[in-house]
Amino acid sequence: MLEYIYQTTGLLLLAFSLQTFLDKDNPKRIGSGLFWLIYGITFIFGAMIRTG
């Protein structure tokens, strides 16, 4: 059950990443977008990364 909450949170973080990448007014959108992207990936695939 808790894994599904992490995966849902990861999807939300990926949405933040996409919004950040598309924000033309943000001069640091690439770095910020990459941060949210990596953070979201770790939430989605955390169980697979942890167990190897």
pLDDT tens digits along 1-52: 888 999 999 999 999 999 999 999 999 999 999 999 999 999 999 877 766 5
Distance CA 48, CA 32 (A): 25
- Determine the angle formed by the axes of helices 29-44 and 2-22, rounding to 10 degrees: 160
Distance CA 36, CA 22 (A): 13
Q: How long, in residues, is the chain?
A: 52
pLDDT at 47: 76
Say which residue the tokens 């999807």 belong to: 11
